[in-house]
Structure 1
Amino acid sequence: MQKTTAPHVRPRPRPWLARRAAAVLAGTAALVGLAGALPADAAQTTQTTQTTQTVPAVGRTAPGPTAAPRPPADFSDCPSLPAGADPARWSCEVHSAAPRLTMGGVTVTLAPITMTHAEGPLPDGSPGQVWGAMHSAATPVPGGLTGIPQAGDAGLLRLAIRPEYGGRSDFYTGRLSLRFRLVGPLLPHGCLIGTDAPVDFALKRSGPSVWVSTQPPLIEFSAYDDTFTAPAAKGCGPLTGALNRRLGLPAASGNLMSYDAAYTFRTYDELPTR
Protein backbone atom coordinates (compact mmCIF):
# COMPACT_ATOMS: atom_id res chain seq x y z
CA MET A 1 0.00 0.00 0.00
CA GLN A 2 1.29 3.51 0.65
CA LYS A 3 4.87 3.76 1.83
CA THR A 4 6.80 6.63 3.30
CA THR A 5 10.55 7.07 3.05
CA ALA A 6 12.75 8.81 5.59
CA PRO A 7 14.69 11.68 4.04
CA HIS A 8 18.45 11.36 3.75
CA VAL A 9 19.05 14.85 5.12
CA ARG A 10 17.40 15.97 8.29
CA PRO A 11 15.29 19.01 7.43
CA ARG A 12 15.35 22.24 9.36
CA PRO A 13 12.49 22.64 11.88
CA ARG A 14 9.42 24.40 10.54
CA PRO A 15 6.96 26.24 12.81
CA TRP A 16 3.93 24.92 10.90
CA LEU A 17 5.13 21.34 11.38
CA ALA A 18 5.40 21.80 15.12
CA ARG A 19 1.89 23.25 15.22
CA ARG A 20 0.54 20.29 13.21
CA ALA A 21 2.23 17.79 15.54
CA ALA A 22 0.70 19.51 18.53
CA ALA A 23 -2.71 19.41 16.87
CA VAL A 24 -2.35 15.68 16.16
CA LEU A 25 -1.54 14.98 19.79
CA ALA A 26 -4.42 17.11 20.96
CA GLY A 27 -6.83 15.41 18.56
CA THR A 28 -5.69 11.96 19.63
CA ALA A 29 -6.09 12.81 23.28
CA ALA A 30 -9.58 14.18 22.62
CA LEU A 31 -10.63 11.04 20.77
CA VAL A 32 -9.30 8.66 23.42
CA GLY A 33 -10.99 10.62 26.17
CA LEU A 34 -14.31 11.11 24.42
CA ALA A 35 -14.65 7.65 22.94
CA GLY A 36 -14.63 6.03 26.35
CA ALA A 37 -17.32 8.36 27.64
CA LEU A 38 -19.67 8.45 24.67
CA PRO A 39 -22.29 5.76 23.99
CA ALA A 40 -21.74 3.81 20.78
CA ASP A 41 -24.71 5.51 19.12
CA ALA A 42 -23.77 9.05 20.08
CA ALA A 43 -23.46 10.16 16.47
CA GLN A 44 -25.97 8.07 14.57
CA THR A 45 -26.78 9.62 11.22
CA THR A 46 -28.57 8.89 8.39
CA GLN A 47 -15.14 2.80 -1.62
CA THR A 48 -14.44 -6.51 -6.17
CA THR A 49 -22.31 -9.70 -7.99
CA GLN A 50 -25.57 -8.74 -9.21
CA THR A 51 -27.74 -8.52 -6.11
CA THR A 52 -31.39 -9.08 -5.30
CA GLN A 53 -33.86 -7.61 -2.71
CA THR A 54 -36.70 -8.74 -0.23
CA VAL A 55 -39.36 -8.70 2.48
CA PRO A 56 -37.86 -7.73 5.83
CA ALA A 57 -37.57 -10.07 8.77
CA VAL A 58 -40.22 -10.05 11.48
CA GLY A 59 -40.17 -6.84 13.46
CA ARG A 60 -38.36 -4.81 10.79
CA THR A 61 -39.66 -2.58 8.05
CA ALA A 62 -38.16 -2.61 4.59
CA PRO A 63 -36.59 0.78 3.88
CA GLY A 64 -38.38 2.86 1.30
CA PRO A 65 -36.74 2.98 -2.13
CA THR A 66 -34.60 5.89 -3.17
CA ALA A 67 -33.62 6.93 -6.67
CA ALA A 68 -31.07 4.41 -7.91
CA PRO A 69 -28.05 5.96 -9.63
CA ARG A 70 -27.87 5.23 -13.34
CA PRO A 71 -25.02 2.89 -14.28
CA PRO A 72 -22.44 4.41 -16.60
CA ALA A 73 -22.57 3.37 -20.25
CA ASP A 74 -19.02 2.10 -19.85
CA PHE A 75 -18.17 -1.55 -20.43
CA SER A 76 -14.40 -1.18 -20.13
CA ASP A 77 -14.33 -3.30 -16.94
CA CYS A 78 -15.97 -6.32 -18.59
CA PRO A 79 -13.83 -9.37 -17.75
CA SER A 80 -12.54 -11.95 -20.19
CA LEU A 81 -14.83 -14.94 -20.72
CA PRO A 82 -14.01 -18.49 -19.62
CA ALA A 83 -12.56 -20.78 -22.27
CA GLY A 84 -15.28 -22.19 -24.51
CA ALA A 85 -17.97 -19.67 -23.47
CA ASP A 86 -20.36 -18.50 -26.20
CA PRO A 87 -20.13 -14.67 -26.47
CA ALA A 88 -23.72 -14.47 -27.72
CA ARG A 89 -24.99 -16.15 -24.54
CA TRP A 90 -22.84 -14.27 -22.05
CA SER A 91 -23.68 -10.75 -20.89
CA CYS A 92 -21.57 -8.11 -19.24
CA GLU A 93 -23.58 -6.31 -16.57
CA VAL A 94 -22.77 -2.89 -15.12
CA HIS A 95 -24.75 -1.83 -12.11
CA SER A 96 -24.72 1.16 -9.78
CA ALA A 97 -26.17 1.19 -6.29
CA ALA A 98 -27.00 3.73 -3.62
CA PRO A 99 -26.42 1.70 -0.43
CA ARG A 100 -27.57 2.83 2.99
CA LEU A 101 -25.62 1.16 5.75
CA THR A 102 -26.25 0.77 9.44
CA MET A 103 -23.28 -1.01 10.99
CA GLY A 104 -22.77 -0.97 14.72
CA GLY A 105 -23.71 2.46 16.04
CA VAL A 106 -23.38 4.45 12.82
CA THR A 107 -25.70 4.94 9.84
CA VAL A 108 -24.48 6.45 6.56
CA THR A 109 -25.64 6.71 2.97
CA LEU A 110 -22.61 5.47 1.08
CA ALA A 111 -21.30 7.10 -2.06
CA PRO A 112 -22.63 5.30 -5.17
CA ILE A 113 -21.02 1.95 -5.95
CA THR A 114 -20.49 0.72 -9.52
CA MET A 115 -19.80 -2.97 -10.16
CA THR A 116 -19.16 -4.93 -13.34
CA HIS A 117 -19.37 -8.68 -13.85
CA ALA A 118 -20.16 -11.24 -16.56
CA GLU A 119 -22.54 -14.16 -16.45
CA GLY A 120 -23.77 -16.90 -18.74
CA PRO A 121 -23.73 -20.67 -19.33
CA LEU A 122 -20.48 -22.58 -19.08
CA PRO A 123 -19.67 -25.16 -21.78
CA ASP A 124 -21.19 -27.90 -19.57
CA GLY A 125 -24.44 -25.94 -19.27
CA SER A 126 -24.02 -24.84 -15.66
CA PRO A 127 -24.37 -21.12 -14.80
CA GLY A 128 -21.10 -19.21 -14.68
CA GLN A 129 -19.98 -15.82 -13.41
CA VAL A 130 -16.77 -13.81 -13.75
CA TRP A 131 -15.95 -10.81 -11.58
CA GLY A 132 -14.98 -7.53 -13.26
CA ALA A 133 -14.40 -4.51 -11.02
CA MET A 134 -15.85 -2.27 -8.32
CA HIS A 135 -15.57 1.50 -7.95
CA SER A 136 -16.67 3.73 -5.10
CA ALA A 137 -15.55 6.71 -3.04
CA ALA A 138 -15.16 7.48 0.65
CA THR A 139 -18.21 8.81 2.49
CA PRO A 140 -17.75 11.20 5.44
CA VAL A 141 -19.02 9.84 8.76
CA PRO A 142 -20.88 12.66 10.55
CA GLY A 143 -19.23 13.48 13.84
CA GLY A 144 -15.89 12.15 12.68
CA LEU A 145 -13.70 10.27 15.12
CA THR A 146 -15.34 11.75 18.21
CA GLY A 147 -18.99 11.25 17.29
CA ILE A 148 -19.77 14.84 18.28
CA PRO A 149 -21.77 16.67 15.58
CA GLN A 150 -19.72 19.38 13.83
CA ALA A 151 -16.71 18.83 16.13
CA GLY A 152 -15.32 15.94 14.10
CA ASP A 153 -16.53 16.91 10.64
CA ALA A 154 -13.39 18.80 9.64
CA GLY A 155 -9.70 18.91 10.38
CA LEU A 156 -7.70 16.10 11.94
CA LEU A 157 -10.71 14.41 13.57
CA ARG A 158 -12.65 13.78 10.37
CA LEU A 159 -13.52 10.20 9.43
CA ALA A 160 -14.77 8.59 6.22
CA ILE A 161 -15.69 5.05 5.18
CA ARG A 162 -15.12 3.43 1.77
CA PRO A 163 -16.46 0.01 0.70
CA GLU A 164 -14.09 -2.29 -1.18
CA TYR A 165 -14.67 -5.64 -2.88
CA GLY A 166 -14.12 -8.47 -0.41
CA GLY A 167 -13.27 -11.20 -2.92
CA ARG A 168 -16.54 -13.16 -2.99
CA SER A 169 -19.69 -12.61 -5.03
CA ASP A 170 -22.63 -14.59 -6.39
CA PHE A 171 -24.98 -12.46 -8.44
CA TYR A 172 -27.43 -15.31 -8.92
CA THR A 173 -28.12 -15.55 -5.18
CA GLY A 174 -27.43 -11.97 -4.08
CA ARG A 175 -24.33 -12.78 -2.03
CA LEU A 176 -21.58 -10.21 -1.80
CA SER A 177 -18.56 -9.67 0.44
CA LEU A 178 -17.16 -6.23 1.22
CA ARG A 179 -14.47 -4.69 3.35
CA PHE A 180 -14.78 -1.15 4.67
CA ARG A 181 -11.73 1.07 4.74
CA LEU A 182 -11.75 3.79 7.41
CA VAL A 183 -10.05 6.96 6.20
CA GLY A 184 -8.86 9.98 8.17
CA PRO A 185 -5.78 12.08 8.88
CA LEU A 186 -5.06 10.19 12.12
CA LEU A 187 -5.66 6.70 10.71
CA PRO A 188 -3.17 4.45 8.87
CA HIS A 189 -3.99 3.15 5.41
CA GLY A 190 -4.55 -0.38 6.73
CA CYS A 191 -7.47 0.58 8.99
CA LEU A 192 -10.26 -1.78 7.91
CA ILE A 193 -13.53 -3.34 8.99
CA GLY A 194 -13.22 -6.92 7.72
CA THR A 195 -9.44 -7.29 7.82
CA ASP A 196 -9.36 -11.02 8.62
CA ALA A 197 -12.60 -11.93 6.84
CA PRO A 198 -14.87 -9.61 4.80
CA VAL A 199 -18.38 -8.66 5.79
CA ASP A 200 -20.71 -11.12 4.06
CA PHE A 201 -24.06 -9.88 2.77
CA ALA A 202 -26.98 -12.06 1.66
CA LEU A 203 -29.18 -9.53 -0.11
CA LYS A 204 -32.87 -10.30 -0.44
CA ARG A 205 -35.36 -8.70 -2.79
CA SER A 206 -37.75 -6.14 -1.33
CA GLY A 207 -39.78 -5.96 -4.54
CA PRO A 208 -39.81 -6.98 -8.19
CA SER A 209 -37.30 -5.74 -10.71
CA VAL A 210 -38.59 -2.93 -12.95
CA TRP A 211 -37.62 -2.47 -16.60
CA VAL A 212 -37.13 1.27 -17.04
CA SER A 213 -36.17 0.95 -20.72
CA THR A 214 -35.29 -1.71 -23.25
CA GLN A 215 -33.05 0.34 -25.62
CA PRO A 216 -30.67 0.56 -23.93
CA PRO A 217 -31.70 -2.02 -21.33
CA LEU A 218 -32.08 -0.52 -17.87
CA ILE A 219 -33.48 -2.46 -14.91
CA GLU A 220 -34.01 -1.18 -11.37
CA PHE A 221 -34.21 -3.33 -8.25
CA SER A 222 -34.05 -2.97 -4.49
CA ALA A 223 -32.59 -5.33 -1.91
CA TYR A 224 -31.56 -5.47 1.72
CA ASP A 225 -29.83 -7.58 4.35
CA ASP A 226 -30.43 -7.23 8.08
CA THR A 227 -28.72 -10.46 9.17
CA PHE A 228 -25.01 -9.74 8.61
CA THR A 229 -22.43 -9.51 11.37
CA ALA A 230 -20.12 -6.50 11.60
CA PRO A 231 -16.61 -7.24 12.93
CA ALA A 232 -14.36 -4.86 14.80
CA ALA A 233 -12.02 -2.57 12.90
CA LYS A 234 -8.35 -3.57 12.88
CA GLY A 235 -5.08 -2.03 11.77
CA CYS A 236 -6.03 1.43 13.01
CA GLY A 237 -2.96 2.01 15.16
CA PRO A 238 -3.25 3.35 18.72
CA LEU A 239 -6.80 4.57 18.03
CA THR A 240 -8.16 1.08 17.27
CA GLY A 241 -9.91 0.52 20.59
CA ALA A 242 -11.36 4.03 20.83
CA LEU A 243 -12.50 3.89 17.21
CA ASN A 244 -14.36 0.63 17.74
CA ARG A 245 -16.12 2.09 20.77
CA ARG A 246 -17.05 5.11 18.69
CA LEU A 247 -18.48 2.91 15.92
CA GLY A 248 -20.15 0.37 18.20
CA LEU A 249 -18.11 -2.53 16.80
CA PRO A 250 -18.15 -5.48 16.74
CA ALA A 251 -21.91 -5.77 16.27
CA ALA A 252 -23.56 -9.17 15.91
CA SER A 253 -27.05 -7.77 15.30
CA GLY A 254 -28.91 -4.56 14.55
CA ASN A 255 -27.09 -4.06 11.24
CA LEU A 256 -28.81 -3.20 7.97
CA MET A 257 -27.76 -2.73 4.36
CA SER A 258 -30.44 -1.39 2.02
CA TYR A 259 -29.49 -1.43 -1.62
CA ASP A 260 -31.33 0.46 -4.36
CA ALA A 261 -29.69 -0.20 -7.72
CA ALA A 262 -30.01 -0.09 -11.49
CA TYR A 263 -28.13 -2.11 -14.08
CA THR A 264 -27.59 -2.36 -17.80
CA PHE A 265 -25.99 -5.07 -19.92
CA ARG A 266 -24.69 -6.12 -23.32
CA THR A 267 -23.95 -9.54 -24.67
CA TYR A 268 -20.30 -10.12 -25.50
CA ASP A 269 -20.96 -10.35 -29.22
CA GLU A 270 -22.23 -6.74 -29.02
CA LEU A 271 -19.14 -5.39 -27.23
CA PRO A 272 -16.32 -3.69 -29.14
CA THR A 273 -13.42 -5.99 -29.92
CA ARG A 274 -10.57 -5.50 -27.47
Structure 2
Amino acid sequence: METDTSPRPGRRPRRASGRRAFRLPVVALASAGVLASVLAVACPAEALAAPHGPSAPGPSAPASTLSAAPAVPAVPSGPAAGGARAAGAAGAAVTPEAELAALEPGYADCPALPAGVDPARWRCEVHLASPRLRIGAVDLPAVRPIMMVHAEGPMADGTPGQVWGAWRSGGPSAVPGGLTGTAAGGRSRLLGLTLEPVYGGRADFYTGVLSLRFALAGPVLPRGCAVGASVPVEVHLKRPAPSVWVSRNPPLVHFSAYDDAFTAPAPEGCGPLSGLLARRLGLPATSGNVISYEASYTFRMYDRLN
Protein backbone atom coordinates (compact mmCIF):
# COMPACT_ATOMS: atom_id res chain seq x y z
CA MET A 1 0.00 0.00 0.00
CA GLU A 2 1.42 3.36 -1.04
CA THR A 3 1.85 6.23 1.35
CA ASP A 4 -1.24 8.38 1.16
CA THR A 5 -0.37 12.08 1.14
CA SER A 6 -3.98 13.28 1.11
CA PRO A 7 -5.65 14.56 4.32
CA ARG A 8 -7.57 11.97 6.30
CA PRO A 9 -10.38 12.43 8.80
CA GLY A 10 -9.50 12.06 12.45
CA ARG A 11 -6.82 13.91 14.33
CA ARG A 12 -5.90 17.37 13.11
CA PRO A 13 -2.90 16.76 10.82
CA ARG A 14 0.39 18.55 11.24
CA ARG A 15 1.70 20.23 8.16
CA ALA A 16 4.05 17.81 6.41
CA SER A 17 7.01 19.84 5.31
CA GLY A 18 9.06 19.17 2.22
CA ARG A 19 12.63 20.28 1.70
CA ARG A 20 13.77 23.41 3.38
CA ALA A 21 13.95 26.31 1.01
CA PHE A 22 17.30 27.79 0.25
CA ARG A 23 18.27 30.98 -1.51
CA LEU A 24 21.22 31.71 -3.72
CA PRO A 25 22.30 35.07 -5.10
CA VAL A 26 20.81 35.93 -8.48
CA VAL A 27 23.12 37.53 -10.99
CA ALA A 28 21.46 39.78 -13.56
CA LEU A 29 22.79 39.17 -17.04
CA ALA A 30 22.12 41.39 -20.00
CA SER A 31 20.97 38.49 -22.15
CA ALA A 32 21.21 34.75 -22.65
CA GLY A 33 23.82 35.47 -25.31
CA VAL A 34 26.16 37.04 -22.76
CA LEU A 35 25.87 33.96 -20.54
CA ALA A 36 26.40 31.62 -23.46
CA SER A 37 29.59 33.53 -24.28
CA VAL A 38 30.81 33.15 -20.70
CA LEU A 39 30.22 29.41 -20.80
CA ALA A 40 31.79 29.04 -24.23
CA VAL A 41 35.03 30.48 -22.85
CA ALA A 42 34.97 28.73 -19.50
CA CYS A 43 33.68 25.38 -20.71
CA PRO A 44 34.96 23.78 -23.91
CA ALA A 45 32.48 21.62 -25.78
CA GLU A 46 34.34 18.44 -24.93
CA ALA A 47 34.00 19.24 -21.22
CA LEU A 48 30.23 19.66 -21.52
CA ALA A 49 29.82 16.35 -23.32
CA ALA A 50 31.03 14.25 -20.41
CA PRO A 51 30.90 10.57 -21.37
CA HIS A 52 29.30 7.92 -19.22
CA GLY A 53 31.83 5.68 -17.59
CA PRO A 54 31.19 2.14 -16.37
CA SER A 55 29.61 1.78 -12.95
CA ALA A 56 32.05 1.24 -10.15
CA PRO A 57 31.63 -2.19 -8.57
CA GLY A 58 30.20 -2.19 -5.07
CA PRO A 59 31.41 -4.16 -2.06
CA SER A 60 30.12 -7.68 -1.65
CA ALA A 61 27.61 -8.42 1.09
CA PRO A 62 29.18 -9.93 4.23
CA ALA A 63 29.21 -13.70 4.38
CA SER A 64 27.08 -13.62 7.51
CA THR A 65 24.18 -12.00 5.65
CA LEU A 66 21.81 -13.47 3.09
CA SER A 67 23.79 -15.59 0.65
CA ALA A 68 21.84 -14.20 -2.32
CA ALA A 69 22.26 -10.57 -1.33
CA PRO A 70 23.76 -8.51 -4.20
CA ALA A 71 26.62 -6.08 -3.87
CA VAL A 72 25.73 -2.50 -3.09
CA PRO A 73 26.53 -0.37 -6.15
CA ALA A 74 28.67 2.54 -5.03
CA VAL A 75 29.73 5.81 -6.52
CA PRO A 76 33.49 6.37 -6.81
CA SER A 77 35.26 6.56 -3.49
CA GLY A 78 34.99 9.76 -1.50
CA PRO A 79 34.35 11.04 2.00
CA ALA A 80 31.28 9.65 3.72
CA ALA A 81 28.33 11.99 4.15
CA GLY A 82 27.88 13.61 7.53
CA GLY A 83 24.93 12.41 9.57
CA ALA A 84 23.79 9.84 12.04
CA ARG A 85 26.21 7.14 10.97
CA ALA A 86 29.19 9.19 9.79
CA ALA A 87 32.40 9.12 11.73
CA GLY A 88 33.27 12.00 14.02
CA ALA A 89 35.89 14.58 13.24
CA ALA A 90 38.52 12.56 15.09
CA GLY A 91 37.55 9.34 13.30
CA ALA A 92 35.56 7.86 16.18
CA ALA A 93 32.27 6.15 15.36
CA VAL A 94 29.09 7.91 16.40
CA THR A 95 27.53 6.30 19.47
CA PRO A 96 23.97 4.90 19.55
CA GLU A 97 23.08 7.65 22.01
CA ALA A 98 24.23 10.30 19.52
CA GLU A 99 22.29 8.63 16.70
CA LEU A 100 19.09 8.56 18.76
CA ALA A 101 19.59 12.22 19.69
CA ALA A 102 19.92 13.10 15.99
CA LEU A 103 16.71 11.20 15.19
CA GLU A 104 14.66 12.64 18.06
CA PRO A 105 13.58 15.89 16.29
CA GLY A 106 11.80 13.83 13.63
CA TYR A 107 9.00 12.92 16.02
CA ALA A 108 7.70 16.47 15.63
CA ASP A 109 6.69 15.51 12.08
CA CYS A 110 4.74 12.35 12.93
CA PRO A 111 1.55 12.55 10.81
CA ALA A 112 -2.03 12.28 12.01
CA LEU A 113 -3.44 8.74 11.86
CA PRO A 114 -6.35 7.60 9.68
CA ALA A 115 -9.72 7.52 11.40
CA GLY A 116 -10.68 4.30 13.13
CA VAL A 117 -7.22 2.77 13.61
CA ASP A 118 -5.68 1.63 16.90
CA PRO A 119 -2.83 4.00 17.94
CA ALA A 120 -1.25 1.20 20.00
CA ARG A 121 -0.69 -0.76 16.75
CA TRP A 122 0.70 2.15 14.71
CA ARG A 123 4.22 3.47 14.95
CA CYS A 124 5.93 6.64 13.81
CA GLU A 125 9.28 5.91 12.13
CA VAL A 126 12.10 8.43 11.80
CA HIS A 127 14.85 7.66 9.28
CA LEU A 128 18.15 9.49 8.81
CA ALA A 129 19.98 8.59 5.60
CA SER A 130 23.38 9.59 4.24
CA PRO A 131 23.00 9.14 0.46
CA ARG A 132 25.53 8.67 -2.30
CA LEU A 133 24.45 9.51 -5.82
CA ARG A 134 25.54 9.02 -9.40
CA ILE A 135 23.20 10.65 -11.90
CA GLY A 136 24.25 10.92 -15.52
CA ALA A 137 27.84 12.20 -15.58
CA VAL A 138 27.78 13.55 -12.01
CA ASP A 139 29.09 11.69 -8.96
CA LEU A 140 28.15 12.94 -5.51
CA PRO A 141 29.67 10.59 -2.92
CA ALA A 142 28.55 12.84 -0.05
CA VAL A 143 24.99 14.13 -0.44
CA ARG A 144 23.81 15.96 2.67
CA PRO A 145 21.83 13.79 5.12
CA ILE A 146 18.07 13.44 4.71
CA MET A 147 15.47 12.78 7.41
CA MET A 148 12.27 10.95 6.43
CA VAL A 149 9.26 10.50 8.71
CA HIS A 150 6.22 8.30 8.17
CA ALA A 151 3.67 6.23 10.09
CA GLU A 152 2.65 2.64 9.47
CA GLY A 153 0.30 0.08 10.94
CA PRO A 154 -2.89 -1.89 10.23
CA MET A 155 -5.92 -0.13 8.83
CA ALA A 156 -9.34 -0.69 10.40
CA ASP A 157 -9.94 -3.58 7.96
CA GLY A 158 -6.58 -5.19 8.80
CA THR A 159 -4.73 -4.24 5.60
CA PRO A 160 -1.29 -2.59 5.89
CA GLY A 161 -1.41 1.20 6.01
CA GLN A 162 1.09 4.06 5.69
CA VAL A 163 0.91 7.83 6.09
CA TRP A 164 3.64 10.18 4.89
CA GLY A 165 5.06 12.62 7.42
CA ALA A 166 7.97 14.75 6.20
CA TRP A 167 11.17 14.98 4.19
CA ARG A 168 13.90 17.12 5.79
CA SER A 169 16.94 17.75 3.63
CA GLY A 170 20.25 18.87 5.05
CA GLY A 171 20.50 21.28 2.11
CA PRO A 172 21.97 21.34 -1.39
CA SER A 173 25.29 19.69 -2.23
CA ALA A 174 27.87 21.36 -4.48
CA VAL A 175 28.40 19.66 -7.84
CA PRO A 176 32.16 19.37 -8.49
CA GLY A 177 33.16 21.49 -11.47
CA GLY A 178 30.04 23.62 -11.35
CA LEU A 179 28.15 24.36 -14.55
CA THR A 180 31.17 23.75 -16.75
CA GLY A 181 32.54 20.56 -15.23
CA THR A 182 35.99 22.18 -15.05
CA ALA A 183 38.30 23.29 -12.26
CA ALA A 184 37.58 26.91 -13.18
CA GLY A 185 33.85 26.27 -13.00
CA GLY A 186 34.24 24.73 -9.57
CA ARG A 187 36.00 27.84 -8.27
CA SER A 188 33.65 30.40 -9.82
CA ARG A 189 30.64 31.67 -7.85
CA LEU A 190 28.97 32.69 -11.11
CA LEU A 191 29.26 29.18 -12.54
CA GLY A 192 28.47 27.34 -9.30
CA LEU A 193 25.97 24.46 -9.33
CA THR A 194 24.25 22.56 -6.52
CA LEU A 195 21.96 19.53 -6.43
CA GLU A 196 19.43 18.58 -3.76
CA PRO A 197 17.15 15.50 -3.66
CA VAL A 198 13.53 16.52 -3.02
CA TYR A 199 10.53 14.32 -2.14
CA GLY A 200 8.49 13.70 -5.29
CA GLY A 201 5.11 12.91 -3.71
CA ARG A 202 5.11 9.09 -3.56
CA ALA A 203 6.58 6.69 -1.02
CA ASP A 204 5.89 3.04 -0.23
CA PHE A 205 8.05 1.80 2.63
CA TYR A 206 6.71 -1.73 2.26
CA THR A 207 7.98 -2.10 -1.32
CA GLY A 208 10.82 0.44 -1.37
CA VAL A 209 9.31 2.69 -4.05
CA LEU A 210 10.20 6.37 -3.69
CA SER A 211 9.73 9.25 -6.11
CA LEU A 212 12.29 12.05 -6.19
CA ARG A 213 13.15 15.28 -7.89
CA PHE A 214 16.70 16.59 -8.03
CA ALA A 215 16.62 20.36 -7.61
CA LEU A 216 19.41 22.23 -9.44
CA ALA A 217 20.46 25.70 -8.37
CA GLY A 218 23.11 28.26 -9.17
CA PRO A 219 23.46 32.02 -9.62
CA VAL A 220 22.56 31.82 -13.31
CA LEU A 221 19.80 29.21 -13.07
CA PRO A 222 16.12 30.08 -12.55
CA ARG A 223 14.18 28.81 -9.55
CA GLY A 224 12.43 25.53 -10.36
CA CYS A 225 15.25 24.03 -12.43
CA ALA A 226 15.27 20.30 -11.67
CA VAL A 227 15.73 16.77 -12.92
CA GLY A 228 12.28 15.21 -12.72
CA ALA A 229 10.51 18.58 -12.56
CA SER A 230 7.37 17.49 -14.43
CA VAL A 231 7.52 13.74 -13.81
CA PRO A 232 9.47 12.70 -10.70
CA VAL A 233 12.22 10.10 -10.90
CA GLU A 234 11.02 6.80 -9.44
CA VAL A 235 13.50 4.63 -7.60
CA HIS A 236 12.92 1.08 -6.40
CA LEU A 237 15.17 0.64 -3.37
CA LYS A 238 16.53 -2.81 -2.58
CA ARG A 239 18.19 -4.11 0.57
CA PRO A 240 21.57 -5.84 0.03
CA ALA A 241 21.51 -7.37 3.52
CA PRO A 242 19.20 -7.68 6.53
CA SER A 243 18.72 -4.79 8.92
CA VAL A 244 20.88 -4.72 12.05
CA TRP A 245 19.29 -3.98 15.42
CA VAL A 246 21.74 -1.84 17.39
CA SER A 247 19.35 -1.37 20.31
CA ARG A 248 15.94 -2.77 21.25
CA ASN A 249 14.99 -0.30 23.96
CA PRO A 250 14.91 2.33 22.66
CA PRO A 251 14.84 0.86 19.15
CA LEU A 252 17.72 1.75 16.82
CA VAL A 253 18.13 -0.04 13.50
CA HIS A 254 20.79 0.23 10.77
CA PHE A 255 20.18 -0.72 7.16
CA SER A 256 21.40 -0.07 3.61
CA ALA A 257 19.42 0.42 0.42
CA TYR A 258 20.15 1.13 -3.22
CA ASP A 259 18.80 1.34 -6.76
CA ASP A 260 21.13 1.02 -9.74
CA ALA A 261 18.51 0.73 -12.47
CA PHE A 262 16.52 3.97 -12.48
CA THR A 263 16.23 6.34 -15.43
CA ALA A 264 17.16 10.01 -15.08
CA PRO A 265 15.53 12.48 -17.51
CA ALA A 266 17.00 15.73 -18.81
CA PRO A 267 16.70 18.77 -16.55
CA GLU A 268 13.65 21.00 -17.01
CA GLY A 269 12.75 24.54 -16.10
CA CYS A 270 16.33 25.73 -16.48
CA GLY A 271 15.74 28.53 -18.99
CA PRO A 272 18.14 29.17 -21.89
CA LEU A 273 20.79 26.96 -20.26
CA SER A 274 18.67 23.79 -20.38
CA GLY A 275 20.53 22.28 -23.33
CA LEU A 276 24.00 23.12 -22.02
CA LEU A 277 23.08 21.85 -18.57
CA ALA A 278 21.76 18.58 -19.97
CA ARG A 279 25.04 17.99 -21.80
CA ARG A 280 27.04 18.96 -18.73
CA LEU A 281 25.13 16.47 -16.57
CA GLY A 282 25.08 13.71 -19.18
CA LEU A 283 21.27 13.59 -19.19
CA PRO A 284 18.96 11.98 -20.03
CA ALA A 285 20.52 8.70 -18.93
CA THR A 286 18.75 5.35 -18.99
CA SER A 287 21.59 3.47 -17.30
CA GLY A 288 24.57 4.06 -15.05
CA ASN A 289 22.54 5.93 -12.42
CA VAL A 290 22.96 4.82 -8.79
CA ILE A 291 21.51 5.98 -5.51
CA SER A 292 22.57 4.21 -2.33
CA TYR A 293 22.58 5.06 1.33
CA GLU A 294 23.35 3.96 4.84
CA ALA A 295 20.55 4.77 7.24
CA SER A 296 19.49 4.65 10.87
CA TYR A 297 15.93 4.63 12.09
CA THR A 298 13.97 4.54 15.29
CA PHE A 299 10.26 4.45 16.08
CA ARG A 300 7.61 4.89 18.77
CA MET A 301 4.12 3.52 18.97
CA TYR A 302 1.47 6.23 18.71
CA ASP A 303 0.05 5.53 22.17
CA ARG A 304 3.48 6.43 23.58
CA LEU A 305 4.10 9.61 21.63
CA ASN A 306 4.22 12.77 23.73
Q: Same fold (TM over 0.5)?
A: yes
1:40 to partner: Cα distance: 1.7
Question: Aligned partner of 2:148: which letter?
Answer: M
Distance 1:115 1:61 in 2: 21
CA distances 1:12-52 after superposition (whole Å, capped 9, x unpaired): xxxxx9x9747x97654232562633232499xx9xxxxxx
Question: Aligned partner of 2:112: which letter?
Answer: S
- The DSSP-based 3-state class of the residue aligned with 2:296 is strand
2:157 counterpart of 1:129? no
Counterparts of residues 161-176 of structure 1 (less than 5 Å)? 161-176=195-210
Question: Aligned partner of 1:29: which letter?
Answer: S
CA distances 1:206-256 after superposition (whole Å, capped 9, x unpaired): 111011112221100001101100000000011100000000000001111
Residue of structure 1 equivalent to 2:153 = 120
Residue of structure 1 equivalent to 2:297 = 263
Counterparts of residues 54-69 of structure 1 (less than 5 Å)? 55-56=69-70, 62-63=73-74, 68=85
Distance 2:69 2:263 in 1: 19
Aligned residues: 245
Question: Aligned partner of 2:39: which letter?
Answer: L
Aligned equivalent of 1:37, options 40, 46, 67 = 46
CA distances 1:146-187 after superposition (whole Å, capped 9, x unpaired): 000253344110000011110111001111000010010000
Please, which runs of 5 or more residues in structure 1 have no aligned partner? 3-16, 47-52
CA distances 1:86-116 after superposition (whole Å, capped 9, x unpaired): 1000000000101111110011021101000
What's the TM-score, normalizing by structure 1? 0.81
Instruction: Give the direction of change, closer, same or farther, for the CA distance of 1:76–1:237 in structure 2 (3 Å limit).
Output: same
Distance 1:20 1:241 in 2: 20
Say if 2:155 and 2:161, in contact at 8 Å, map to a contact too. yes
Say if 1:142 and 1:150, in contact at 8 Å, map to a contact too. no
1:259 to partner: Cα distance: 1.5
Say if 2:195 and 2:217, in contact at 8 Å, map to a contact too. yes
Question: Aligned partner of 2:210: which letter?
Answer: L
Question: Aligned partner of 2:118: which letter?
Answer: D
- The DSSP-based 3-state class of the residue aligned with 2:246 is strand
Distance 2:40 2:282 in 1: 15
Say if 2:103 and 2:297, in contact at 8 Å, map to a contact too. no
Question: Aligned partner of 2:108: which letter?
Answer: S
Distance 2:186 2:159 in 1: 51
1:72 to partner: Cα distance: 1.9
Which segment drifts farther, 60-69 or 155-164? 60-69
Counterparts of residues 64-103 of structure 1 (less than 5 Å)? 68=85, 70=99, 71-74=102-105, 75-103=107-135
Question: Aligned partner of 2:132: which letter?
Answer: R
Residue of structure 2 equivalent to 1:160 = 194
- The DSSP-based 3-state class of the residue aligned with 1:130 is strand
How big is the alpha-carbon RMSD for the aligned residues of Structure 1 and Structure 2? 3.0
Instruction: Give the direction of change, closer, same or farther, for the CA distance of 1:201–1:26 in structure 2 (3 Å limit).
Output: same
Residue of structure 1 equivalent to 2:95 = none
Please, which runs of 5 or more residues in structure 2 have no aligned partner? 1-20, 57-65, 87-98
Question: Aligned partner of 2:37: which letter?
Answer: A
Instruction: Give the direction of change, closer, same or farther, for the CA distance of 1:153–1:160 in structure 2 (3 Å limit).
Output: farther
Distance 1:187 1:21 in 2: 11
1:62 to partner: Cα distance: 3.6
Distance 1:218 1:61 in 2: 22
